[in-house]
Structure 1
Amino acid sequence: MRFVIDGDGSPVKNEVIKLAEIFNLPVLIVTSVDHFTNKEYPAFVSFIYVDKGADGADYRIVKEIQEDDVVITQDYGLASLLLGKKVRVFHHSGKEYLPETIDTLLTQRYIGGQMRKAGKRTKGPKAFTQEDRNKFVEVMKEVIAKKTKTD
């Protein structure tokens, strides 16, 4: 098992890294060069930087993904591409993307985009709280515990 993070704008990178350290798991963060960092990370954390532009990180994640990876992304489109690849995909809220719900999420995203294009205002995401972080960590602990129990 490995954590793969869609790194552009992920608010839970640090939480994933802490969990990975506790459970001795590797972490791959894929992000655009716009988010390049010189920050020191533990050896179990690796980065792949991609060129700027829409969907560059997403396509690289699809290319790099391995069976049994756990992917963290807020991108419904990327989640839909990954669901058929025997990986589990989670939003940073802790909600798991599932084949039976992804079409609804994609439809909602499309309708919101059309409304914004027509000049209408839509709600943005609510602020990410410490409670949201804590919930995410608890969900990931459950995922890891189930995975280590089955191996």
Structure 2
Amino acid sequence: MSVGPDTVCVVDELVERVDAHDRVLGVVSRSETVRNGWLHRVGVVVCRDGQGRFLVHRRAEHLSRFPGHYELGVGGAAAVGESYAQAAARELTEELGVRASVRLRFTFLNRAGFSPHWLGVCDAVLAESIVSDPGEVAWHGWLTESEVRRTLRQWTFTSDSREVFDRYCSR
């Protein structure tokens, strides 16, 4: 096959397939884990500002997963050898253009969404302004805890946002 300047190559991410106890079983492609319903790791970060408000954002309309849905956490699949916090910090930089100290708060087996996965929920306090990637984030805003509770009932959020918020607030 000839590869020219107009050729688009799609490279599938490699992730660690894990078991029900979050122990690594091997390295596989992310698409394979989703297709087969295998467990893997995803790191998300719940962002707060200096006033304690929560960052909520709306996903871009063209995204394959939950287009146009609101979301509480910023995150994505953990790459091979990457911790939950490292994955969350990387995604924070990629999606919101922000670097921050990210701390793992808790993990849980998340069966909501496209495929089951271990979800590592982290948090960070953001002191700098956000320059979101319009290819990922269509809108973002800072909401108080009561505003988040109200919008979780009124807006269309990703399937895990309510559980992430409830577990986060209960800790």
TM-score, normalization by structure 1: 0.25
Structure number having the greater helix percentage: 1
TM-score, normalization by structure 2: 0.23
Structure number having the greater strand percentage: 2
Structure with the greater relative contact order (CA < 8 A, sep ≥ 6): 1 or 2?
Answer: 2
